[in-house]
Amino acid sequence: MHSLFPKCPHGKSDCIQYIAVLFSFCLFILHSGCIDNPEIIHPTFENDTIITHAKPLQSLVMNSTEGVYDIVSSSVNWGSKAVLHWTNGALCFYFENSGIYAVLRGGTVNNTFAFSGLWRNPLTINTGKVQCIIEDTTQIMSIIRSGTISQLTTIPITLNILSNAGESRQSLTLRYARPSKYRNENYFIIAHRGGGRNSDLLPYSENSLELIRFSQYIGANAVEIDIKLTSDGIPILYHDTDFNSRLIGNGTLIGPVESFSFTQIRTFAKLHDGSNIPTLREALNFIIDSTSLRFVWLDIKSANAMRAIIPLQKEFTQKAQQKNKLLFIAAGLATEEFIQDFMTIPQFSTIPSIVETTVDDMRKVNAKVFAPRWTLGTQNELIQSVQTDGRFAFVWTLDDQKFIRKFLAEGQFNGILTNFPSIVAYEYYAQ
């Protein structure tokens, strides 16, 4: 019978780890609720039932209404402009102040546009419900069909806002100003850890499948995910070295992630949102089948994981091609140790990779992407030399809005890795 407990290198049950698992189970029973995250309550609109009868909008309507909007009146301080962006049928707004975002779903009901969803300030715990109902859309449809999109400036869009703080209903009115300046399909807004960190109080746990799905609605068109290897060689999505209360909500494991088998991890560890820790196979399948994401950065966290990851990288690149999905998957090489390990793989120079160390290392392994940290600055001359070689350049991990604006305005990078995709999305599309 297969044991649920880790084995020592000599094949005998490791008594210390066995006791640690049992002891951690007792600690879990006593202290599973000890993590003090603030409770986020989402209020509800009385007339949200209209949304359940809505039919999806036509692509023509969605494409035509994308762009930059002026905020012409507001009882909330979300800035003076917003970007309207459609992603997989969701109506997404990115606001000027702090990357506040709103994600709504809905469509048409008779002659009415009806949408409802959530809004969030990613830098605080402030969140709530947002609703947009536009009655008698005859004029809007006439403008769109005629192709005279500039006339949308005559039609206001009002968002009704409810706050989790129990405040009275507020509103915000937008008016179409112009198309988004940039629609570069080769620019990547890369969501860190699948969409953000647990400390950012997102609706889902970092490196979870649902957060990967959510990342595309808050501005990302690419994700970075963290890969650890189980004791039996299964790549999973997990960032830290050990199992801990920062990432695990109801786990009973203590110690290094690499000390436990996949069966043990799937049996005894759950993320804070209650979901399983995904395997890399599950994540790549999900990205291909359920998202519009176009780039995956595999941030390898286990020194011995390379040979388990590369075959999956190749398999799912081919699967994406078979489904006519534009998706680039690259193995992250963050240190000299990982680079040396990578170079022992046959035909390593043909494997898409991302190098974070130096341009010389990038060329040595023929990496597709060079990715320096943001504190090194824009480095325009160096970045241009990288791009002259036909490679991409990403900067990481950039979260401050004023520096994001500076890198977009003055830098030459092809993408930004960030914990706050909505901030980058606003600054990128509103330029």
pLDDT tens for each residue of 142-186: 988 888 888 888 889 999 999 877 767 899 999 999 998 766 668
Residue 243 lies in a domain: no
Whether 72 and 97 map to the same domain: the answer is: yes
Residue 20 lies in a domain: no
Whether 379 and 282 map to the same domain: the answer is: yes
Whether 118 and 153 map to the same domain: the answer is: yes
Confidence of residue 16 (pLDDT cuts 50, 70, 90): very low
Residue 251 lies in a domain: no
Residue 26 lies in a domain: no
Whether 328 and 194 map to the same domain: the answer is: yes
* Residue bearing the bigger pLDDT, 63 or 7: 63
Residue 270 lies in a domain: no
- At residue 184, the pLDDT reads 64
pLDDT tens for each residue of 97-133: 999 999 999 999 888 899 999 999 999 989 999 999 9
Number of domains in the chain: 2
Q: How many whole angstroms separate alpha carbon 341 and alpha carbon 123?
A: 38
- At residue 43, the pLDDT reads 67
Whether 215 and 338 map to the same domain: the answer is: yes
pLDDT tens for each residue of 289-326: 999 999 999 999 998 899 999 999 999 999 999 999 99
- At residue 168, the pLDDT reads 74
- At residue 39, the pLDDT reads 55
Confidence of residue 27 (pLDDT cuts 50, 70, 90): very low
Are the C-beta atoms of residues 253 and 21 closer than 8 Å to each other?
Answer: yes
Residue 265 lies in a domain: no
pLDDT tens for each residue of 177-208: 999 876 666 899 999 999 999 999 899 999 99
Residue 395 has pLDDT above 80, yes or no: yes
Whether 312 and 215 map to the same domain: the answer is: yes
Whether 122 and 157 map to the same domain: the answer is: yes
- At residue 147, the pLDDT reads 82
Are the C-beta atoms of residues 426 and 83 closer than 8 Å to each other?
Answer: yes
Q: Which CATH number goes with the domain that contains 52?
A: 2.40.128
Most confident of 21-30, 39-48, 289-298: 289-298
Per-residue burial over 260-295, b = 16 or more CB atoms within 10 Å of its CB, e = otherwise:
bbbebbbebbbbbeeebbbbbeebbebbbeebebbb
Residue 69 lies in a domain: yes
- At residue 4, the pLDDT reads 39
What is the mean predicted confidence (pLDDT) over 260-288? Answer: 97
Q: Which CATH number goes with the domain that contains 402?
A: 3.20.20.190
Residue 29 lies in a domain: no
Residue 2 has pLDDT above 60, yes or no: no
Whether 166 and 148 map to the same domain: the answer is: yes
- Give, for 404, the enclosing helix (H) or strand (E): helix 401-410
pTM of the model: 0.90
pLDDT tens for each residue of 331-348: 999 999 999 999 999 999
Name the residue type at position 212. Answer: I
Tell me, rounded to whole angstroms, the distance of Cα 334 from its chain centroid: 20
Average pLDDT score over the chain: 89
Range of the domain at 343: 188-238+277-429
- Helix (H), strand (E), coil (C) string for 374-390: HHHCCCHHHHHHHHHCC
Q: How many whole angstroms separate alpha carbon 174 and alpha carbon 82?
A: 8
CB neighbours of residue 177 within 10 Å: 17
Whether 150 and 217 map to the same domain: the answer is: no
Whether 156 and 195 map to the same domain: the answer is: no
Whether 230 and 154 map to the same domain: the answer is: no
Residues 6+ apart with CB under 8 A from 431: 181, 182, 408, 409
| Tokens of residue 121, six digits | 């300030």
In Å, what is the CA distance from 30 to each residue of 22, 23, 242, 272?
Answer: 13, 11, 20, 17
Of the three residues 178, 201, 228, the one that is the final residue of a domain is: 178
Whether 313 and 346 map to the same domain: the answer is: yes
Confidence of residue 76 (pLDDT cuts 50, 70, 90): very high
- At residue 197, the pLDDT reads 96
Residue 1 has pLDDT above 50, yes or no: no
